[in-house]
Structure 1
């Protein structure tokens, strides 16, 4: 099964106290990596959120945004450090007497200091809110997977088309490769006849042709290319994460194409190898987006 690593899904959930929105976006990544943004006091849900979304995703960079509206998510309480405030009051009183200013004015300024008086947010209704967020995340994950599957189907069609063209080129090379040694023999014989007249050393000619045939033999490389293409088609229909396997196969296909290119002392083979490498490059680009 081909699943794209690019996708988007969102879901909203509401209760009597909260309105929750979860958005999930995924892009290409070698592994599975999460980036989560949500209110700080809800970060304890991070692991549960990853597990919920992880049921729908195996690979990719996952960005999750959680927003919460409602008055029930937090309670606020005024916190006062009375001991510190007493020290500030004593300081303001003594400083006022020493320097001749009204200590009440100085004390009012001190009251605004955060280390003395601040507002603390305390969580409430945690179970209700957590259930709501995870439910929305699960639905967003389902919608995300649906989009990734739809894009994966389009990717599979493109991959299959390019793979079929690769297969056609390999079949053409299989048919043409045996003729290369014979053509080389004819060219070499003509050259020897041009230089030596009718006195051609047949044994030397055969030796040179045999050496050329051995150096330019590409049957093993073509056999491996056929195997890689067959495996590629098979993996496309498997029901697991296939991106890394396909990436490995593309690298091996490129290696065989390069070897054939270095061996081929023939313009027709070289032309087909250029086309083949171009198709393999397209396969490589497409495979980078597969889970």
Structure 2
């Protein structure tokens, strides 16, 4: 496949990495509590195990976590994302920019399909870096009694389950599938809608336009991928019955959830996911674009 333009014209890679990393850090700090809420809702079954609380929705989860565990519990599991998400986001946007020239599919300029495919491939590759951190994060978020130390969780998982698909890499197929579907929709919808909606001359109105489009694209991508995200959380989190592995593979988890809890259970956590990823994705993508443009203007 020919490359439609000279790849040597690309801006230096460290601009893309730095812009993506800074945008990711800002997004994590602001929206992590919604990630905790989403995880709690997705891993709970149709009934309470061991007398645990059941959350009826995102607001109910917020209230109960705050009431019974304290305000700081809304930031449980934030260490793994900070450690990996900031460089991961930088790497993802770097790979996204590097891959775009290879997915023009004969078009002279990037199309929405170009952005969707490049974003999806970049997200698949990042999954193999992120998966161990996701397993640790979800374990911390799911534990209600106290705050688990990150290194203690890592050592425990390695000691009892190892490094492979039963340990730090459990749920890797679900994460790959979730990331591929979500980012295909996210980058595809954002660039498709952005090309349709006229760009205003005023910079403030243009900023609002981009934020609204990115938020809509994130929300649509959430709907596309929420079932895979639910399966990922159940596989990577604590199992309902201690000593018994109920959720092991993606398709099996989805089938079991549907059979035991019904069709609506496949969309568990969608509200919290949209609340988390909708504005979070908008902040991430728009922040990246503005930081990247700033770095280019300063010729750093």
Task: Tell whether the structures are fold-level matches, with TM greater than 0.5.
Answer: no
- The structure with the larger Rg is 1
- TM-score using structure 1 length: 0.24
Q: Which has the higher helix share?
A: 2
